[in-house]
Amino acid sequence: MPTEQTKSRDIADHATHGVEIANCFGRPLLPNRGTPLNLDWVRDVRINTSAIERRAQSHAMRRTVKKDWQAAWLLRAITCMDLTTLSGDDTDERVRRLCAKGRHPIQSELEQKLGIESLQIKVAAICVYHVFVETALRALEGSGIHVAAVSTGFPAGLSPLAERVAEIRRSVEAGAHEIDVVITRAYVFAGHWQALYDEVAAFKQACGRAHIKVILGTGDLLTLRNVGRASVVAMMAGADFIKTSTGKEPTNATLPVGLVMARAIREYAQQTGMAVGFKPAGGIRTAKQSIEWFSMIKEELGDSWLRAEMFRFGASGLLGDIERQLEHHATGRYSADYRHPLA
């Protein structure tokens, strides 16, 4: 029988098992620099909606991860998390508390029970409105956690282009490491792919060295084919990540949408030799859902995407449930929600 010390070491090993730089089909992939717009590629995007939905449903039903492996995947999920507060009543103090949670997402007592103190688990980024970028930077100083700012008239993305570009530049000048931008969904409905490409390319240029995560607003795009085509155009325009949702739409991240976007990323890597990250956001609230997303990405894109550089969860409520599941793994008991506050 394995000892508790051995089990703790196994959890730590699984949670930190390294992956090399993203690679696909036996060759290393480069960061995405973008490509010229290829309208033939965009028009050729075809989606079998019923097949995608069946695949997503069967995936969720037949994929399970148990015991130490489950705990390790949940720890990895924390390290891939963009801990987010995007409410109208946000304050500097709330952002500081969220940053403190991001630096120490797991209670010290629970870390000791799991034997993972040396891992120094922390989230990947804190995502806030522009006005709180400097507050977050000060609160996260020395932690290595990135600050992500939502921009471009989030969440609707309907302000004039010059204003949206200026908003990006202000956040970059303030020190944001990552910028989450919103596309104009009307371009997708009308098939104005050149306009969409030019918009994202302008956002990319304004970001400079900051990473750009392009929010498609998949809940607004109506069809999976629209999602696939918008994904391809965003990647051609230079997106470092493509992201499902703002979290404000009636329908946010779903596994069928995730399958379409992951396969678009895979095809783009095959065709161009460049890697694009993926971020599902909105509606992911349970530890079980995080494992479903992880296992889907593992199957569709491979182990190289199972790290913060290539995959993120946009989440606010997810961390609390992961903590509860980890405590159950360590003690056999579920704790109350109020014992795991975010901010």
Whether the Cβ atoms of residue 293 and residue 38 lie closer than 8 Å to each other:
no
For the chain, percent of residues with pLDDT exceeding 70? 91
Q: What is the pLDDT of residues 56-71, one digit of tens each?
A: 888 777 667 788 999 9
CA dist 262 and 242 (Å) reads: 9
Q: Which residue did the predictor score with more confidence, 19 or 49?
A: 49
Stretch 122-148: mean pLDDT? 97
Phi/psi of residue 149, nearest 5 degrees = -115, 130
Q: Is the pLDDT of residue 104 over 80?
A: yes
Q: What is the pLDDT of residues 271-288, one digit of tens each?
A: 999 999 999 999 899 999
Stretch 196-204: mean pLDDT? 98
Residue 23: what pLDDT? 61
> Distances from the Cα of 114 to the Cαs of 2, 75, 308, in angstroms?
14, 11, 22
Stretch 99-109: mean pLDDT? 94
Residue 162: what pLDDT? 97
Mean of the per-residue pLDDT values of the chain = 90
Q: How confident is residue 118, by pLDDT bands cut at 50, 70 and 90?
A: very high
Residue 90: what pLDDT? 94
Give the domain ranges of the chain: 10-339
CATH homologous superfamily for the domain 10-339: Aldolase class I (3.20.20.70)
Q: Which residue did the predictor score with more confidence, 14 or 125?
A: 125
Q: Which residue did the predictor score with more confidence, 11 or 131?
A: 131
CA dist 77 and 256 (Å) reads: 20
CA dist 218 and 185 (Å) reads: 9
Whether the Cβ atoms of residue 123 and residue 314 lie closer than 8 Å to each other:
no
Residue 208: what pLDDT? 96
Q: How confident is residue 6, by pLDDT bands cut at 50, 70 and 90?
A: very low
Q: What is the 3-class SS of 19-83, one letter each residue?
A: CCCCEECCEECEECCCCCCCHHHHHCCCCCHHHHHHHHHHHHHHCCCCHHHHHHHHHHHHHCEEE
Annotated catalytic residues are 180, 243, 279
Stretch 183-196: mean pLDDT? 98
Which pTM does this prediction carry? 0.91
Residue 307: what pLDDT? 95
Stretch 218-232: mean pLDDT? 96
Stretch 297-324: mean pLDDT? 93
Q: Is the pLDDT of residue 265 over 60?
A: yes
Structure tokens at 340: 């795991």
